[in-house]
Amino acid sequence: MPESRRLSAGSAIGRLALIAAVVACAAAAFAYTGGWLSPERLTPDKLVDAFTPPGGAPPLGHRRNHAKGICFIGMFEANGAGSELSRAEVFARGQYPALGRFNLATTDPNAPDATVRVRGLGLMIRTPDGQEWRMAMIDPPFFPVATPQAFYELLLASASKDPNAMAAFASAHPEFAKFGAWAKSAPWTGSYAEERFNSLNSFILVDNSGAEHAVRWSLLPAAQPVGVAPEELAKRGPDFLEQEIAERIRGGPLRWTMLVTMANPGDPTADPSQPWPEDRRTVEVGTLIVQQIEAERDGPCRDINFDPAVLPSGIRTSDDPFPAARSSAYAKSYDRRTAEAADYPRTAPEASQ
Amino acid sequence: MNGSPRFTLLQRLLHWLMAICILAMLFIGVGMVSTVEPKYLVLVSVHKPLGMVILILALIRLVVRLRRHAPPLPVDLPEPLKLAAHLSHYALYALMIAMPLIGWGMLSSAAYPVKLWDGVYLPSILPQSDALHTALWNAHFYLAFLFYVVILMHVAAALFHAFIRRDGVFEAMGPALTRNEVAPAE
């Protein structure tokens, strides 16, 4: 090294320390961004972990929630009325292939059907423009809590060994009482085909002019709901819902009307625990036609994450924080269950593709 | 600037543009997988198109590098450091090109639509497969940390050349313009 460039020992040590400090700061910034310095941050791992109570075994290879279900294929028949609200091709008059899954809001893939209060429907509709609309709906008319953080706290409270945990949660989250009342009083039915499924979350439809419309949507069953006492359902066997829907479809396709409900200015779009008033404008946009029931195991919906943030152009998320939280947590659940594929009770090993 | 050899202006532009993109990409990636807040969707929606920008820039840069080469390292640089310099550059090029492809494959193997922006999608490059998705997810996750470690070593080495050896290696890729770049020939 030429004489002119040589540093004194002290100066070199100072400069080395500066380099070390730059690297250390960069590493710390990365760690901060990744949440390792923020143990209070609600991460998708924590949210997904909360579905498995401490000491409990997660259902390896299965969805971490809504673990029990049965698949279907069919189509969505758009009547064209939705085109007024959204430029998405799925609302243009026509028939589009649909894939879905009736499911139960339980972490146990073997839970007896009569033990699960909340029923759901996951749906994926594909349109010829190559876009997809995925959604996951449930049958209560509103969500139990107002925020993802509150939902996490609900999971912790329900898994807690502290006998006062649920009471403490309920008093901190007054909106939860409404859900409790629904769970107690709403009639049970004996069939997925008699359930109304609701998006609960609000989304924004964007029309051809670029105007935006805050909406929620529901699938209204064509079948007349018949209330059945839960004690009666308990006698029907652990998988009666799956057996009933497979049996019912032999009589012909099953139908639900998709009803889009439009928010008035000021309606609580960010809070799915608050239903909108009954008088809001609704638009029937089409019909879900379930044509064929497919097995859950190795069925066509097993490999699909019904991520409610997978939306076509013309539908986007609103200020409702849940679709982002669900998307993040659903992806984590998918990552885990695919990594546990060896533990999934496949019926056809060669069908792993 | 005196006559010590430098990377060409195009190479330096590509380097600094990609430095910004890749650092942003790594921070977006590590941030988005640690949150369930609404910014999760925003970060994911930036991560995917930015990954494709990096892939395209990396391929352009590879061609430019193969045609324009790199200025020679100082003759008095110890052999182990020369080896480290060469290996780290191979690692950086490999990661710049592999990471976007792994991410693309990872989404494809999970049957997710690979959305770049509203209405614009990349084709699926793999069939749905639990085993592929798991392997690619692990690769994407752990290689991201390796990428950041290699970048930190790269920064430390650059600063070592700039502050301690002062041998012109930093200036070869440094952001300053040489005289003829500041004032083009009249």
Give me the total of CB pairs closer than 8 Å, taking one residue from chain A and one from chain B.
126
Residues A24 and A128 reside in one and the same domain:
no
What residues make up the domain containing A14? Answer: 10-39
Is B89:B158 a contact under the CB 8 Å cutoff? no
Check A35 against B34: CB less than 8 A apart. Answer: yes
Interface of B with A in 49-108 (CB under 8 A): 76
Q: Given an 8 Å threshold on Cβ–Cβ distance, is B110 in contact with A305?
A: yes
Task: Tell if the CB–CB gap between B131 and A304 is shorter than 8 Å.
Answer: no
CA distances from A210 to A85, A216, A246, A281, B120 (A): 10, 19, 43, 20, 18
A337 within domain boundaries: no
Regarding whether A162 and A20 lie in a shared domain, the answer is no
Would you tell me which residues 266-305 of chain A have a C-beta closer than 8 angstroms to some C-beta of chain B? 303-305
- Residue B185, pLDDT score: 52
Domain ranges of chain B: 9-72+85-177
- Whether residues A21 and A155 share a domain: the answer is no
A15 contacts B134? CB cut-off 8 A: no
Q: A36 — alpha (psi -120 to 50), left (phi > 0) or beta?
A: alpha
Given an 8 Å threshold on Cβ–Cβ distance, is A321 in contact with B37?
yes
Statement to judge: residues A26 and A126 lie in one domain: no
**Nearest of A313, A309, A323 to residue A134 by alpha carbon:** A309
Residues A34 and A145 in one domain: no
Indicate the residue of B31, B152, B156 with minimum beta-carbon distance to A34.
B31
Does the residue A226 lie in any domain?
yes
Determine the average pLDDT of the residues in A324-342: 96
A163 and A32, same structural domain?
no
Asked if residue A25 and residue A72 are part of one domain, the reply reads no
pLDDT in the model for residue A291: 98
Res. A243 pLDDT band, cuts 50 70 90: very high
For residue A298, the distance in angstroms to the closest alpha carbon of chain B comes to 12
What is this structure's pTM?
0.94
Q: How confident is the model at residue A345 (pLDDT cuts 50, 70, 90)?
A: confident
With respect to residue A331, please indicate whether it lies within any of the assigned structural domains.
no
**pLDDT tens-place string over residues A109-120:** 999 999 999 999
The CA distance from B79 to the nearest CA of chain A, in Å, is 15
Amino acid at B85: A
- Of all residues in chain A, the one with the smallest CA distance to B154 is A23
Q: Say whether pLDDT at A4 is over 50.
A: no
Same domain for A17 and A148, yes or no, is no
Please tell me the distance from the alpha carbon of residue A91 to that of residue A94, in angstroms, as a whole number. 8
Inside any domain, residue A163: yes
CATH number of the domain at A178, please.
2.40.180.10
The total number of structural domains in chain A stands at 2
In a domain, residue A292? The reply is yes
The per-residue pLDDT for range A280-318, each reduced to its tens digit, is 999 999 999 999 999 998 899 999 999 999 999 999 999
User: If pLDDT is split at 50, 70 and 90, which confidence band does A350 have?
Assistant: very low
Distance from C-alpha of A191 to C-alpha of A189, rounded to nearest angstrom: 6
CB–CB of A22 and B156 under 8 A?
A: yes
Query: A351 — contact with chain B (CB < 8 Å)?
Result: no
Whether residues A218 and A158 share a domain: the answer is yes
Are A145 and A30 contained in the same domain? no
In a domain, A3, yes or no: no
